[in-house]
Amino acid sequence: MLVNQIYDTTIEYGKRVGKSIRKKIGQFFTPPSIANYMASLMECNQSTIRILDTGAGTGILTAGLCERFLEHDTITHVHIDLYENDENVLSLLRENMELVRTTLEQNGKIVSYTVFEENFILSHDDFWNDREEKSKGELYDVIISNPPYKKIAKSEPESVVMDSVVHGQPNIYFLFMAMAAKLLKPNGELIFITPRSFTSGLYFRKFREYFLNTVRLTNIHLFHSRLDVFDGDKVLQEAIILRAVKTTQATDSILISASQDMYTGESFVHEVPYGTVVDMSSENLFMLIPSSVEEVELLTIVNSWDYNLIELGYKLKTGPVVDFRALDLIKEESEENTVPLLWANHFENNRITFPVSVSKNPQYIVDTEDSKSVLLPSRNYLLVKRFTSKEERRRVQCSLYFADEFINEKVGVENHLNYITKLKGEITKEEMYGLFVLFNSSYIDIYYRILNGSTQVNATEFNAIPLPSLDDIIRMGKRLLETNSITTETCDTIIEEMFIVQNSKQERNVG
């Protein structure tokens, strides 16, 4: 109905204006199936509703909500505010809003709307910064948005207005989310489709702190496929749809659903404890969004572990040798004063093979005064690749580096690798194998993939992964040494024997 009619006009508009122009302003249009799905999440059904559509485009999200109003006899009065600062799309937005208004009026609703040809963020500068107050009547019951996605500089006016949630280079989409949270009435709801990136990463920490302490998430929908969410526009982003309610009251659970893309139905719908998705007492407020029953179970196990690398006295750091900055130091061949320079291509079946007969990278680095600052003492390290390709099955790929297998006192670790080191003293053999059980298991690999959709292993996130106690880690290491196999299957079995069998025994005892 309304949504499909408006989508037809949107497609025409999209063709006329062209993708490259729209991309510059972060303009990607929502297809009907998503607009309808987002509207279906709305729960508000009071007689008078104030709606806000931010970054309204051609108005398709408002149309989705209005179709829902037609199903509710209880809703009699509707006011809609729409913000859109692209002057090219405004006449179509106004035409479409007239269509929405007349359709609702023909169905007995009393409707008003205002299109603000303004920058949504800059228009609310005073309100955001508490220089202006708004009465309850000026705030909103429902805010719906597919905000623009665009990295902006820290010096741009939007970043400056909202600097209290900005850390590093922001993306304008999360500024829209934070502003919307502020503009909701108490118990008002917001429904957004956004990239998934805000759920992890330090850049978004200040935003998460504000957002998660202002609203409580009630629904999250994940798309497995990066493509096909914004069909015509092929946005290469993992997208999520979320609904949240403005309240400070704790809620027990979040309804999580997932589907392959926007065409296929939900393949997973699960009510997940709030604390499984976000631990509100944690420092970074990372969000974990499971998309299968197995992932929910896995999160329950990993989240039950009480420590992390730092708390256990270890730390994942980034390899200090940056090849293009060390051109004078790195060598193709071994020389009198060189030591090994380790790269990802020295990983072989989770051990270090050095040297390799054919290497595209120089395998040595000089051990001189000039290289002092980038070399590490040759100690036991668990090396972890920083980058993996999307096609590779695992995100966390590690290799055991044992110092006693090398004669040199120092070693170079190239910048595409991370290494786990002990902050005081040397990692013992049992600890090395124990940590390996964890980081080579599917448990941590899948945990990390749930935490971070990207292909990079980020040190801050990695250092915060929950781990069991040091005693447990040493027990794991001893078990692995007994088995004489370092496969992922063996690592998984050790974890299952220690934690799943144990948990079910405890549950039986309690029962």
Ligand X SMILES: C[S@@+](CC[C@H](N)C(=O)[O-])C[C@H]1O[C@@H](n2cnc3c(N)ncnc32)[C@H](O)[C@@H]1O
- To the nearest whole angstrom, how small is the minimum distance from the Cβ of residue 128 to ligand X? 13
Beta-carbon-side half-sphere exposure of residue 405 (alpha carbons within 13 Å): 12
Q: By CB under 6 A, is residue 177 in contact with ligand X? A: no
45-68 burial: b if 16+ Cβ within 10 Å, else e? eeeebbbbbbbbbbbbbbbbbbbb
Q: Distance between CA atoms of 388 and 416, rounded to whole angstroms?
A: 10
Binding-site size, ligand X (CB under 6 A): 22
**Does residue 419 sit in helix, strand or coil?**
strand
Residue selected from 5, 19, 23, 25 as contacting ligand X according to rule CB under 6 A: 25
Q: What is the nearest approach in angstroms of ligand X to the Cβ of residue 69?
A: 18
Nearest 5°: CA angle at 110, between 106 and 115?
Answer: 100
CA distances from 32 to 16, 187, 207, 292 (A): 20, 27, 29, 26
Q: Please, what is the minimum distance in Å from the beta carbon of residue 163 to ligand X?
A: 16
Contact with ligand X (CB under 6 A): which of 96, 146, 237, 452? 146
Stretch that binds ligand X, among 27-35, 252-260, 273-281, 312-320 (CB under 6 A): 27-35
User: Which of 41, 44, 61, 97 is the binder for ligand X (CB under 6 A)?
Assistant: 61
Quote the least distance from Cβ 351 to ligand X, whole Å: 47
Among 14, 148, 412, 466, binds ligand X (CB under 6 A): 148
CB within 8 Å of 184: residues ≥ 6 apart: 139, 140, 141, 143, 190, 215, 246
Backbone angles phi, psi at 171, to 5 degrees: -110, 135
Minimum distance, C-beta of residue 17 to ligand X, in the bound complex (Å):
10
Element housing 366 (H / E): strand 364-366
Beta carbons of 53 and 144 less than 8 angstroms apart: yes
Per CB under 6 A, 56 contacts ligand X: yes
d(CA 194, CA 238): 8
Q: Are strands 253-259 and 216-223 parallel, antiparallel or unpaired?
A: parallel
Closest to ligand X by CB, 30 or 378: 30
Q: Which is nearer to ligand X, 91 or 187 (CB)?
A: 91
- Cβ-based nearer residue to ligand X, 150 or 429: 150
- The verdict on 194 binding ligand X (CB under 6 A) reads no
Q: Which is nearer to ligand X, 29 or 347 (CB)?
A: 29
Interaction of residue 27 with ligand X, rule CB under 6 A: yes
Closest listed residue to residue 111, CA positions, set 136, 80, 85 = 80
- Least distance to ligand X, CB of residue 22, Å: 8
The stretch near ligand X (CB under 6 A) out of 128-136, 146-154, 329-337, 429-437 is 146-154
**Amino acid in position 177:** M
Name 366's bridge partners: 338
Q: Which of 67, 81, 86, 431 binds ligand X (CB under 6 A)?
A: 86
Q: For residue 241, what are the β-bridge partners? A: 193, 221
Q: Is 55 in the site for ligand X (CB under 6 A)?
A: yes
Decide: is 26 part of the binding site for ligand X (CB under 6 A).
yes
Q: Work out whether 83 is an interface residue with ligand X (CB under 6 A).
A: yes
Per-residue binder mask for ligand X (CB under 6 A), 92-131, x = binder: ---------------------------xxx----------
Nearest distance, CB of residue 60 and ligand X, angstroms: 5
Indicate which single residue of 13, 28, 113, 198 sits in contact with ligand X (rule: CB under 6 A): 28
30 binding ligand X? (CB under 6 A): yes
Contact indicator for 91, 97 with CB cutoff of 8 Å: no
Q: Out of 6, 13, 29, 128, which residue is the one contacting ligand X (CB under 6 A)?
A: 29
- Asked whether the CA dihedral 249, 255, 260, 263 is positive or negative, the reply is negative
Region near ligand X per CB under 6 A, out of 81-89, 346-354, 412-420, 470-478: 81-89
Shortest Cβ 169–ligand X spacing (Å): 17
Report, in Å, the least distance between residue 474 CB and ligand X: 51
- 457-477 burial, b at 16+ Cβ within 10 Å, e below that, comes to bbbebbbbbbbbeeebbbbbb
Q: Among 67, 81, 84, 461, which residue interacts with ligand X (rule: CB under 6 A)?
A: 84
* Two tokens, residue 189: 């709801």
Site of tokens 């500068």:
125
Residues that bind ligand X (CB under 6 A): 25-30, 55-57, 60-61, 83-86, 89, 119-121, 146-148
